[in-house]
Structure 1
Amino acid sequence: MKLRVKIKRLNEDVELPRYANPGDSGFDLVAAEDTIIWPGETKVVPTGLAFEIPPGYELQVRPRSGMTRNTKLRVILGTVDSGFRGEVGVIVDNTERVVGPNMQAHVIERGTRIAQGVIAPVETAHFVEVDELSESERGSGGFGSTGVK
């Protein structure tokens, strides 16, 4: 059984999301308008869509591998909670470092597949404050403490 997710187009001519292939976990999110992002800038690219995510689920906004591999644009991971009803936007950083007369903006054209959305179940936690935590092999080691190779 497929999960029913209500979608509202905020602009008549924006594309509804779709899965590219059967079995894909992510569906394409498309730019609703041209967006210019200069090197070092961060912009929110509108999708022209609002979602009604069922309670107990979230919409995860994730990068598309092709954009990451082929450009200096980086989609920032995002979470859309089930209670949010506004337009979903995609946060994009232009990591290009060219400064000066050769500096060029990157234009995300309307209709470009900029990110993917994944609908995922949400597990909420009941937090219990304690004086001590149990021991583990890793302990408090983090940030590369287990090595890089």
Structure 2
Amino acid sequence: MKIKKLHQNASPPTYGTVESAGADLYACLEDDILLKPGKRVVISHGFSMELPVGFEAQIRSRSGLAFNNGIIVLNSPGTVDSDFRGELKTLLIHLGEDEFVIKNGMRISQMVITRHTTANWVETSDLSNTQRGSGGYGSTGV
């Protein structure tokens, strides 16, 4: 997968283990960021990339940051399309109780590369019947 380093202190994504689905993404910062509870921040990763056609990248929360500090990816999963060539960034929100310092090089999110299909929409006045029908929001049980 091609990545283009945009900042000198950028780190490429890394997998924690050979079986990891998500590659860790690192903060690329000039200065530390103090994230207060309830606040949002966009964190740069310092690189752009070229995904193959038919693939997307999903930006997701890291479980440890979420559980231990309440730091999550706000628009999780964030979608990176294969034709996007801008700098990769992560939108975080702090749902915890204590201030949190984000430092350069800190692993702050993870990226999963997946295949996708583009739908060909066909407008109709009739849909097939199913056992579920239009039931949603808990209609199949809690």
Same-fold call, TM cutoff 0.5: yes
Secondary structure of the structure 2 residue equivalent to 1:114: strand
**1:40 counterpart residue number:** 38
Secondary structure of the structure 2 residue equivalent to 1:87: coil
Which of 48, 61, 64 is the matching residue for 1:63?
61
Residue identity opposite 1:32 in structure 2: C
Are the aligned partners of 2:4 and 2:47 in contact in 1 as well (CA < 8 Å)? yes
- Once residues 36 and 84 of structure 1 are traced to their aligned partners in structure 2, the CA distance between those partners, rounded to angstroms, is 29
Return 5+ residue gaps in structure 2 as ranges: none
Return 5+ residue gaps in structure 1 as ranges: 99-103
Q: What pairs up with 1:108-127 in 2 under 5 angstroms? A: 108-127=102-121
Normalising by structure 2, report the TM-score.
0.90
Which of 3, 17, 20 is the matching residue for 1:7?
3
| Cα offset, 1:82, TM superposition | 0.8
Residue identity opposite 1:11 in structure 2: H
Question: Is 1:30 equivalent to 2:26 in the alignment?
Answer: yes
Number of residue pairs matched?
A: 138
- Once residues 86 and 36 of structure 1 are traced to their aligned partners in structure 2, the CA distance between those partners, rounded to angstroms, is 25
Which of 105, 109, 128 is the matching residue for 2:99?
105
- Once residues 120 and 130 of structure 1 are traced to their aligned partners in structure 2, the CA distance between those partners, rounded to angstroms, is 30
**2:49 counterpart residue number:** 51
Are the aligned partners of 1:75 and 1:115 in contact in 2 as well (CA < 8 Å)? yes
Normalising by structure 1, report the TM-score.
0.86
Identity score, percent: 43
| Cα offset, 1:47, TM superposition | 0.8
Residue identity opposite 1:18 in structure 2: T
| Cα offset, 1:81, TM superposition | 0.4
Secondary structure of the structure 2 residue equivalent to 1:132: coil
- Once residues 36 and 54 of structure 1 are traced to their aligned partners in structure 2, the CA distance between those partners, rounded to angstroms, is 36
Q: What pairs up with 1:84-99 in 2 under 5 angstroms? A: 84-96=84-96
Which of 113, 138, 145 is the matching residue for 2:132?
138
**2:79 counterpart residue number:** 79
Are the aligned partners of 2:61 and 2:108 in contact in 1 as well (CA < 8 Å)? yes
| Cα offset, 1:23, TM superposition | 2.3
- Once residues 120 and 58 of structure 2 are traced to their aligned partners in structure 1, the CA distance between those partners, rounded to angstroms, is 22
Instruction: Indicate the RMSD between aligned Cα atoms, in angstroms.
Output: 1.3
Superposed CA deviations along residues 1-31 of structure 1, whole A, max 9, x for unmatched, are xxxx110111112211111111211111011
Are the aligned partners of 2:62 and 2:72 in contact in 1 as well (CA < 8 Å)? no
